[in-house]
Structures are given as structure tokens and as C-alpha cells.
Structure 1
Amino acid sequence: MTIRNIQIFDTTLRDGEQSPGASIEPAQKIVLARQLARLGVDIIEPGFPVSSPGEFNAVQQISRELQGTEIVGFARAVKGDIESAIKATQDAARRRLHLFISSSDIHLDFQLKKSREDVIRIAREMVAFGKASVDEIEFSAMDSTRTGLEFVIELVEAVIEEGATVINLPDTLGIALPEEYEALFRNVRAQARGGDKVRYSAHCHNDLGLAVANSLAAIRGGATQIEVTVNGIGERAGNCSLEELVMAMETRKEALQAGTGINTSEIYATSRMVSRTMHFPIAYNKPIVGRNAFQHESGIHQDGLLKNRNTYEIMDPEAMGIPRSMIILGKHSGRHAIKHRMSEYGIEVSGEQLETVYTRFKDVADEKKIVTDDELLRLVGEATATQHDPYVLTDVQVKTGPAEVCTAQVTVRTQDGAAHSRTGEGTGPLEAVIRSIQELIPVAAQFEDLELHSLSTGEDAHGEAVVSILHEQARHQGTAIHKDIILAAATAYVAACNQALLSSARKRQQQQA
């Protein structure tokens, strides 16, 4: 069986940045572009050079630095745009000029106010103008899925004659059905003069939730390049999601007979970086990278997973760099899940102790929906009259005000029952609290990420904090729920540190054994 290689064209830094509220600084674009290169995308479209000096400089620096990745200069079918895109990408080892113009009647009548003949003439002139400087020309017929096959073919034939090498047929409004989109590619390839001599690309928007399905349909129709964004960000409902498309192809490679060169182990890190940099949260149920994508609360599912992961998972999250926390403890969880979670901390409970813990666990789960690890350790400690976690946060006091520096005093209790306090400073209350805890807990861990979520509304609202740390090349997560979000974040950080310490201790015991 021959597996076709599908090139991944990433437009996170151009189309993705057009998401309302997702604008980023040029320096941040460069950092994200480096991560996209590590991810293994074939082509990066880093921005719209003519739009601002900062945008131009970012595209220029990315072109100079990322010599192993093809860089795209994006431009309207306007000479000034084209000149700016050509100049910004001139130092790239491999570069492409990406031109677009509208093709549907509704765009021509109300936006461009031009005839079809005008569009054909402009497209010819601008492709020829760009071709004088750049060999690789991608042409996009914007809104092609609402244009009509006859005019799409006429426009494609015209730009092929002028030297276009890649034809993009975008579903700009996300209106196409998969069978319609596949047919569009098949018909253009078969009927356009020279259509079999160029490559084809798909650019799908997600207005009807069909962007990934349509992109896969385009591959069946002959497309060899798919345009995507990380986390599916982009105009309105977004673009085809890179991680969803790649993992669909990886998981169903034999059925699709197509694959990519993406380094899947970098998927999670890239997703988190884009989310943090663009201040764009990821939906809990987002496929692949959402927090619930590989988490299970149902007792039946948890029991199956503990026996064989493949019972309820079709992908391995760890292969994508996603921390394995597949069991979420809630009111639907059973005794097996609780016992398994305790064993991860090196704690064995059974018989009456397990029943006591389980009864108390159900009461807490009814009230809080999710029982965090530190809450479970507290329940086990009450049942066994033992403090199992190395550190327990007992007090947090924060002094804030108009001054630039905040002060925090934190107290923790160790397993020997002793209380220890430290004071720390920071530019904000959370930084001051974290620095105080770092003075108290001797674990050389990198504070990686913090997520804060509101679980309810009104005066009695609770906030959930999820803290991720890196320790000895392993990622650990702590979760806590509290009305005070600073206290929730501090408790989650202590829980993550406890996990790291207990994990290290177990590794040492295993090595000695």
C-alpha cells in the first residue's frame, strides 16, 4: 500500500491571528514559528507583511532564521502587497508567494465591485508580476465553494497559464459538504487545462464543524496540501485544526492511504504555547488537546482502562506529549479507580479503610463534582490517621495594594507534624505566594503553566486551578478548587510538588529493588 505524503501548511500566525482578540507581538510570532518548525510543519505562513512594519519585520526574521522550512508571503492581488511579501521573504531558503482574490459573485458584486472579466485580468497580471521574482506561486480563489465550477475552472486555467504552481480552493465560509468539496477538487483537476500539472491545496473554515471532514475529503479529491491552524483558531469558528487533521490521518492512515511528516510528540506543547501566547483558552471537550480528550470519570470506562487502555482510547496521549491523567475522580468513579489513584502515590488501602474512604469520597464528589488528588489524600489521611502527602498547605496570607510589590506569607505542615512558614515577594499576589512555597518545598521544578476556571457564578462562586510543573523531565499536574483563586492556585501547586516528590521517591525505591 502506497501512503501519499500530505504537506501541512500552517497559517496559525496569519489566518489564526485574525481570530478576534488573538493578536500577538512580532517577537512572540518568532517564538511560535520556531515551535512550529520543531513540530515539523512543511510550510509556515507567518503573517501579512504589508499590514504593518512589525508584521513585515517578523516575517523577515522568520524567513532568515528557519532555513529548513518553506516560508510563505501572503498578499492580495495588489502590486504593493506582492512587493512587500517578496521583500519580506527574500532571505528564506525556500519561499512561496501566496496570492488571493475573491471569485464568488456575491464577493464580486458587493465587495470587489468588479466583473468576472476584471477578476480574470487582475489574477493574470498579478500572478505574472509575482512570477518574475518568485518561482513558487500559490493562487487562492477566495470563496471558491460558492463560485460555481465553470468560473473556478476558467480562473484556475488563467493563473496556471501565468505560472501558478499551487492552486488553493478555499471553503472560505465553511459551507461545503465533504462530498461537494471532494467533487470540486476532482472536477477542477480533470477539467482545467493544465490542471494535472499543478498541486492542489485545501483551506477549510469550521462554520458548520466540517473543516476537518472537508479537508480529508479534499485529500480524497487529489489535494496534496492542507492549510491548518493550531487549536483550529481563525476567523469566526476557526480553521481546520492541525492536531485533529494530523491525528485523524495518523489513526486512519490505512483507510486514507495518506500521512504527514508531523512530529506528533510536539503536538501538546505547541497547542499550549499557542493558547497561552494568544490568550485563547482551549475548550474542555476539544478533540486531541482539550483537557477532557483523554480523561474518564465513568466507573465502567475507568475499570476498562485500568485493564486495557485500548478499551476506551483510540490514541496514546503520551505519544503527543500529553500528560497521562486519564482517570478523573468524580461521583461516577468506583472503588477500583480510587484504589488505583492511591497506588500511584504508593498508598495501599483495602477492606474497611477503603470503604470509609469511598463513603467520604462520594459525599465530597456530590458537593464538588471533581475530587482532586490533594482532597483524596486528605480523605485517606483521615481514614488512616496518617498524613500521606509530604506537604500540606495550612495558611496563606497576602498583602496587596497600589505598590508594585506584593508580599505573601505561606505556612505548610510536613509529615512529622511540624509547621514551617516563609515570606516571599512578587509583582502580583500569585507570584509572591509561589515564591514563598518554593522556599518551603525543596523540589527543583519548573513552574510551567496555570489554568484558572470558574466553576459557578454568583457570590459563592468557586474557582478551579490546574498547575503544571516540570521535574526530572516529567510533567506533574495539581488541581484544587476554592472560592479564593489565589488559595486554589497555591494548593494546586503544592499538590503538583507532592506528586513530583512522591514520584521521585518511588523511582528510587524501584531502582534500589
Structure 2
Amino acid sequence: MSETRENQSSKRRIRIFDTTLRDGEQAPGASIRPEQKIVIARQLARLGVDVIEPGFAISSPGEFQAIRQISRELQGVEICGFARCVRDDIDAAVAATREAARRRLHLFISASQIHLDFQLRKTQDEVIQTIRSMVAYGKQFVDEIEFSPMDASRSSEEFLYRVIESAIDEGATVINVPDTMGYALPEEFGPLFERIRRNVRGGDRIAYSTHCHNDLGLAVANSLAAIRHGVAQVEVCVNGIGERAGNCSLEELVMAIQTRGESLGVETGIRADQIYETSRLVSRTMHVPIAYNKPIVGRNAFQHESGIHQDGLLKNRNTYEIMDPEAMGIPRSMIVLGKHSGRHAIKHRVAEYGFRLADQELEDLYRRFKATADELKIVTDDVLLKLVGESSGVAAEPYALLDLQVLAGTQRTRIASVTIRRNEDGSEASYAASGEGPLEAVIHCIRQAVPVEAEFEDLELHSLSTGEGAFGEAVVTVQYQGARHQGTAVDRDIILAAARAYVSACNAALLSGRSFGEASGQ
């Protein structure tokens, strides 16, 4: 144990600078209200980020007030005010962050010739003079000044040295070298930091940071290259959101460091068990869905359909997983049942619901499963339980949705009615309810029928095809007795799909507590 602690203590600490609320919010369609910023900032603090850049204070009164409240409330994390090299920007950033326990000012100006010629319309000497005057001005208010030469990776190195040297001369304490356009390659970006240290006066006495965009899919790779060459801070966004293709992904960088920390010789202070919750919060709040194949937090990141992979996972998770999803707060759902799945995976999934099938029943289930998988591609749990019932002669689901009717319109309250069967005794009952939306009305109906105090936490809707006859897939997540349970359903009617998915999630919650009768062969 003592040897492990020594190894950990010898690792260099990388500071995580989160700019989800500033650069991340600049992603098209990701803009959020000031009160939503505060909620995300609180979660970022729980996640353990070192620095939060909560916005651009000069941009609006609401933005200013949100930054002020975050600065006042989150005293345990450093708050960074963001500003162009413009006096009014600096004044706003300084005023908004005044109540922070620890704060810094982040100033930036373009450094590439193409930006100077076509955006700033300034000469190099004019840019140098602006940097000197604005860094000196900001230094009157705060001790910590971070300076960023925007588009550094496309700048002339000689001019980049001049720009950085002028900022250091006037009191900058952190130099952030950004790959603003996601243009750099790792093998050229990392060594750039060593050349800056050697060629810039004072370059060996300040801290370095990097801020990489993902236009070529290299943001994490470039950030890791910078770390290998001495960078002490990396600027990131949750889910990799941001301008264009986004920024360096917080969760990808952090888990790369955690998984390969011995090789990299570094660590972070991020609490991994908060990663999934933070990712979901940002996705929901900013209305930016997470790609299925997104590393770490994507739906498919820890799911496996191949029969070979599934068999290996069931024997030892490390055969096909290099990280533990549950350590990141991700629900354990590693097996996705589809046409490539084998008997072992099907038997395992059925057993998770408490059912033990005889050999002949399992063979019959496998045959039915394969026929269904060819048609549906993925066999969801509610479909699988129906197939179990057909193979065993006993209904596997505690409750089944038999009928649904919804009345919706622009000038009326949404009204729904459902008929639910309790499979244990075959009884059927109908329920009616209203809601602000048709799905809310349906959920209110089902809650009357299914006796499980499960919180409806999340709904995902996905189109599985195109055209008027497209199928929609609904994934509903509920929380029950401290655990998350998912239900999935597919239908051309998305309200019906969501209703079936909700009933399936409630069934999963009930079966997890073994509160329903035993199936045959158990």
C-alpha cells in the first residue's frame, strides 16, 4: 500500500480548467439561461475541476449576473473571468468575479497573420502594444493573469515568441497556447512548448496551459502531447462541446490520464464517479445529444453485441473493457442483445431478471430471439421478456401495456387513457389522466397502475429510419431505491414507444427487487 501511495504522489498534477460555460456554450444551439449556468457550475465543482470559466461577462447583463453568483457561491474552486484585450471587457470580467475566493483574468488576442490581416486589421507591432497595455491594465486588479495568443498553432513562431514575451513582461502568470482551429498534429504541437520555454525571455518561470479544438479529431491527442512536454493545465469542455467540432473532451482526457497514468506520469483531481452525471446534465441542459459512439459517456461506449465479446465479458470484464463504467457513475449495461448475440448473453440477461430456464426453454427462446433480432436489429428487454413468456408459458413481465389512447391539440389539455394488465393474476384495469403534454398525461396514467415509486429521470427518442413510416426508439431511465433502470421500446408511434419503455423500466425496477412471482424453472 505504501509503495502505491509513493507512486501516486510522484505523479505530476494536471489542473483541469473547465470552459463548458464559456467556450462550450458557444456551440450552435447550446446557449443556456443564467440560472442553468449556476446548476452546471455546482456540478462542475462536485466533479472536482480546478478552474471554472463561467462565461463572457461583457456579453449580456444576465451573463454578468450568472458569473457573479457563481463567483460568490463556489468558494472552493478558482473562477476565471474571460475578456478580449479590451478595457471594457476587462472591467466587466473583474467586476463579475470580484467576490470569488480565488480568481484569475483570462485575456486573449489573435496571433496568426491571417487573423491580423482579415479580422483585427492590425500590424504585429500594434498587437504587441495592445497586449502590453491590456495585460498591465488587468494586472492592477488581479494577481493571476492568463494570456492566450489565439490561433497560436497557425502563427509564425517568431511572432508568437514576441507575443508571449510581451505578456510575461507585463505580469502574465499563465500562458495558454491554443490550437484554436484544431490544425496542429501531436508530434509538432507538443515540442512547441519546449521551444517557447527556450526562446521566450521569462518563459521558464511561468505556468503553461493548452486549449485544443477538435476539427481534425485530435484535441485530446494534442492535449496529451502538450502534457508530455510540460503543460500543467488543460482547458476542456464536458462532452467535448464547443465551437464547430468542439473542444478537448473533459471525460476523454481525464480517463486517458487515469487509465494510462503510469505511462504519462500525471494525474488529475477529478472525481471519476461524477463524470456520467455531469455529462448527462450538460447534454440535457444544452440540448446537445451525445453520439452513440462517443468515448466514455456514449451509449455504446460500454455495450457489446458481438457474441465473442459478450462471452469474454461475462467471464472477465477486463477481456474487452479497459475502464470500469460503474466507477464513473455509468449504469452497468454492457450487453446489447442483437443478431450477433449468443446463448450465454441471452441466458445472462434473462437471469438478471431472476429467471432460470430449462435447457429446452432456453433453446426455444434462442430460436425466437434470432428470428426477432433479424427484424428489429436490437432486442430490447421488454421484447426479450415477452419471448421468455412465450418460451416458458409464464408471463415474465409484471405489467403489460395493452392499450393507449391520447387526445392532444393546441387549444386543449392533453388527456390520455391506458389499459394495463397485471400478469401475475391476469387482471386488467384502465386509467385516465391529463398533463401539459401527451407523454406527461400517459406517464400519470401508468403511475396509477404500476405500484413502484420510481422517479422518471430521463427520456431519449431516436429515429431509426427515414420517411413517414420511420420507427422511433424510446429509452426511458427511472430511479428506484438508489439504482437506475432502463426500458427501451420501438414503434412508429413515439408516444406509444415511450409508454412501453416506461412500463419496461418499471418492470425492471420491480424485478430487480424480486417483488414479482417466480418464473418456471427457477
The TM-score by the shorter chain falls in which range?
over 0.9
Of residues 494, 497, 504, the one that matches 2:513 is 504
Paired with 2:235 and 2:409, the residues of 1 have a C-alpha distance of: 48
2:454 is the alignment partner of 1:445: yes
Q: CA RMSD in A?
A: 1.2
Percentage of pairs with the same residue:
68
2:484 is the alignment partner of 1:475: yes
Q: How much does 1:94 deviate?
A: 0.5
After alignment, is 401-410 or 235-244 more displaced?
401-410
| Alpha-carbon contact 1:157-1:195 (below 8 Å) kept | yes
2:168 is the alignment partner of 1:160: yes
Q: How much does 1:65 deviate?
A: 0.5
The 3-state SS of whatever aligns with 2:514 is helix
Aligned to 2:413: 405
The 3-state SS of whatever aligns with 2:396 is coil
2:508 is the alignment partner of 1:463: no
The 3-state SS of whatever aligns with 1:394 is strand
Mark the CA change 1:507 to 1:108 in structure 2 (over 3 Å): closer, same or farther.
farther
2:371 is the alignment partner of 1:363: yes
| Alpha-carbon contact 2:510-2:516 (below 8 Å) kept | no
Of residues 242, 252, 258, the one that matches 1:250 is 258
2:231 is the alignment partner of 1:223: yes
1:291-306 matched pairs, under 5 angstroms: 291-306=299-314
Aligned to 1:108: 116
1:256-405 matched pairs, under 5 angstroms: 256-405=264-413
Q: Deviations over 1:323-378 (max 9, x none)?
A: 11000000000111110000001101132211111111111100110000110110
The 3-state SS of whatever aligns with 1:272 is helix
Q: How much does 1:402 deviate?
A: 2.3
After alignment, is 343-352 or 118-127 more displaced?
343-352
Aligned to 2:70: 62
Q: How much does 1:459 deviate?
A: 2.5
AA aligned to 1:79 is R
Paired with 1:445 and 1:129, the residues of 2 have a C-alpha distance of: 56
Of residues 33, 49, 55, the one that matches 1:25 is 33
Q: Deviations over 1:162-195 (max 9, x none)?
A: 0000000000000000011111111112221111
Uncovered stretches (5+) of structure 1, i.e. residues with no partner:
none
| Alpha-carbon contact 2:474-2:490 (below 8 Å) kept | yes
Of residues 137, 149, 159, the one that matches 1:141 is 149
Q: Deviations over 1:238-281 (max 9, x none)?
A: 00000000000000000000010000001000001100101101
Q: Deviations over 1:301-325 (max 9, x none)?
A: 0000000000000000000000110
| Alpha-carbon contact 2:24-2:242 (below 8 Å) kept | yes
| Alpha-carbon contact 2:254-2:270 (below 8 Å) kept | yes
AA aligned to 1:419 is E
After alignment, is 437-446 or 400-409 more displaced?
400-409
Q: How much does 1:460 deviate?
A: 2.0
Q: Deviations over 1:355-410 (max 9, x none)?
A: 11111111110011000011011011011111111111111111112234211111
1:20-59 matched pairs, under 5 angstroms: 20-59=28-67
| Alpha-carbon contact 1:346-1:506 (below 8 Å) kept | no
The 3-state SS of whatever aligns with 1:261 is coil
After alignment, is 144-153 or 427-436 more displaced?
144-153
AA aligned to 1:392 is A
The 3-state SS of whatever aligns with 1:169 is strand
After alignment, is 334-343 or 415-424 more displaced?
415-424
Paired with 1:465 and 1:425, the residues of 2 have a C-alpha distance of: 21
Q: How much does 1:26 deviate?
A: 0.6
| Alpha-carbon contact 2:139-2:171 (below 8 Å) kept | yes
Mark the CA change 1:287 to 1:194 in structure 2 (over 3 Å): closer, same or farther.
same
2:495 is the alignment partner of 1:486: yes
Q: Deviations over 1:107-139 (max 9, x none)?
A: 001110101111110000000000000110000
Q: Deviations over 1:412-446 (max 9, x none)?
A: 11121000221111001000001111111111111
| Alpha-carbon contact 1:404-1:427 (below 8 Å) kept | no
1:71-86 matched pairs, under 5 angstroms: 71-86=79-94
| Alpha-carbon contact 1:228-1:241 (below 8 Å) kept | yes
| Alpha-carbon contact 1:8-1:226 (below 8 Å) kept | yes
Of residues 184, 204, 209, the one that matches 2:212 is 204
AA aligned to 1:341 is R
The 3-state SS of whatever aligns with 1:196 is coil
2:431 is the alignment partner of 1:422: yes
**TM-score normalised according to structure 1 size:** 0.98
Uncovered stretches (5+) of structure 2, i.e. residues with no partner:
1-6
Aligned length: 509
The 3-state SS of whatever aligns with 2:276 is helix
AA aligned to 2:482 is Q
Of residues 235, 239, 245, the one that matches 1:237 is 245
| Alpha-carbon contact 2:471-2:490 (below 8 Å) kept | yes
Mark the CA change 1:179 to 1:154 in structure 2 (over 3 Å): closer, same or farther.
same
Paired with 1:173 and 1:345, the residues of 2 have a C-alpha distance of: 49
